[in-house]
Amino acid sequence: MSILLTGESRVLVQGLTGREGSFHTEQMKAYGTNVVAGVSPGKGGTTHLGIPVFDTVADARRETGADVSGIFVPAPFAADAIMEAAAAGIGLIVCITEGIPLYDMVRARAFVVDAAAKLIGPNCPGLTTAGEAKVGIIPNHISTPGSVGIVSRSGTLTYEVIQGLSQAGVGQTTSVGIGGDPILGLSFSDVLRLFKEDPATEAVVMIGEIGGSDEEAAAEQVIGRSFGKPVIGFISGRTAPPGKRMGHAGAIISGNTGTAASKLQALKRAGAQVCDTIEEVVAAAGAALGQRSSAAHR
């Protein structure tokens, strides 16, 4: 079981023939992802990496039945690529591109919502369903199938947590990097709700960071309301100097909201287990699974 992406998902890649699109599509195929089409305007009717290329997402979806799109399109054109995928009826859109202008993303996100599609990103590593498929740039070798779901704002910390869990013998269901920009598709709350309904996910690791209020909202609206599964939380950026902007555009603190302290307090109030290091996260996830297994056999 998984959320959002399975081995049966039919994936198209927007920007397939570009350098980044080519490299990461090869990695996605090597992982087992069912990549059925590419979209590169002006190159329709050709093939690339053994994959048929189309001029538009609509053509690709009509000919191949694609239902997931991975976007590796330069920032000036990425918002249009997102809206094109949504307009064509793609249900899950994963945008890896960073540096998309804020106003472009305001328009694109509204368009995606109106189309009833799901967007992951932008400026994110994508997602991996362990042992089945991936869309994005999460390294192939670090995931192991299991029962821990991961949702994270930080790409690098996503990789660290996945690899740490795998090395400790704790496998994952789906790992989702939602991205760190101010305007995003799926939020922590959205992904947590999906994990709550997934019977294969027995515990969730949530990796947040300073800036914004998404973590506080998830704690209050989802985790603290009969979530029913252990949540292990980690907030990066605790040592950021007051008043200093850190990292990407999403790491902006306004007043008392968005600070590491406010996020940690919100998670603790909601009943999540908050950890100080990635090593503690790994140990806590393993312990949480052990406790659930013991409870199930009583």
- The answer to whether 128 touches 28, Cβ cutoff 8 Å, is no
| Prediction pTM value | 0.92
Out of 24, 48, 248, 297, pick the active-site residue.
248
Please report the pLDDT score of residue 298 as a whole number: 47
| pLDDT tens by residue, 208-232 | 988 888 999 999 999 999 999 999 9
Is 141 annotated as catalytic? no
CATH number for 139-296 (one of 3.40.50.720, 3.40.1440.60, 3.90.550.10, 3.40.50.261): it is 3.40.50.261
**Contacting residues for 167 by C-beta, under 8 A, at least 6 apart:** 282
> How is the chain split into domains, by residue range?
11-120, 139-296
Q: Do domains 11-120 and 139-296 have the same CATH topology?
A: yes
Domain topology for 11-120: Rossmann fold (3.40.50)
- Residue 81 half-sphere exposure toward CB, CA atoms < 13 A: 28
| pLDDT tens by residue, 171-216 | 999 999 999 899 999 999 999 999 999 999 999 999 998 888 899 9
Q: Report how far apart, in Å, the C-alpha atoms of 213 and of each of 47, 104, 179, 220, 294 are.
A: 44, 21, 14, 11, 35
